[in-house]
Amino acid sequence: MTDLKWKVLSYEYIHRGPWATLRVDKCEMPDGRIIPGYYVLEYPDWANAVALTEDNKIIMVRQYRHAAGVISLEIPGGVIEPGEDPEEGMKRELLEETGYQFDHLEPLCELRANPSTGDNITHCYLARGGKKVQAQHLDEQEQIIVEEYTIDEVKQLLADNQITQALHVSTLYYALIRLGALS
């Protein structure tokens, strides 16, 4: 197989932030061509989960997403903290965003939002048997409404294009396959 990997000759950081860092790489392609400025967004890894309550309802969250200017219906998820295990980070996010506790998560897949410009991984899980144990503990800039839907209702929301966050749509489909709910 032909080697397609580029060699990074040098790099420079343009911006460093808590949720995104921008760097520019100078690269050499396998055939010797030089790319003088390839921009890369460094993000922390993320996690999301299709979370089923004890009565088999899927927990969804509704929140404003400023970059797109939309109110978005999503599955719970968030940033994995430095040094945090992805599964533990997802359990933390579920508890903080929804108030539901999940003792065990099943890995579904790992996704990359846009590997041409971003370097992170999204760890995707199926969580079952969630119990409401506390109120939400949201970050300062979060306002999240927690909603519950049946599996059939979520399938209809997908069919009606009411869930548009691509990583969450993908995770929902993986979960529906695992649950035997696609037909």
Whether residue 108 sits in one domain with residue 23: no
Same domain, 98 and 152: yes
Q: Are residues 53 and 37 in the same domain?
A: no
Domain-located, residue 163 = yes
pLDDT tens for 141-180 read 889 999 999 999 999 999 999 999 999 999 999 999 999 9
Model confidence pLDDT, tens digit, residues 47-74 = 999 999 999 999 999 999 999 999 999 9
User: How sure is the predictor about 30, in pLDDT bands with cuts at 50, 70 and 90?
Assistant: very high
C-alpha span between 84 and 90 (Å, rounded): 10
As a whole number of angstroms, the distance between CA 58 and CA 52 comes to 5
103 and 36 within one domain: no
What is the domain count for the chain? 2
pLDDT band at 101 (very low <50, low <70, confident <90, very high): very high
Give the residue from 57, 174, 81, 71 showing the smallest Cα distance to 125.
174
Q: Are residues 107 and 155 in the same domain?
A: yes
Please tell me whether residues 21 and 61 are part of one structural domain. no
Domain assignment present for residue 183? The answer is no
What are the CA-CA distances from residue 33 to residues 24, 89, 116 (Å)?
Answer: 17, 41, 18
In a domain, 100, yes or no: yes
Please give the residue range of the domain that contains residue 64. 46-178
Answer yes or no: do 150 and 123 share one domain: yes
pTM of the model: 0.93
Regarding whether 112 and 52 lie in a shared domain, the answer is yes
Tokens of 35: 């790319």
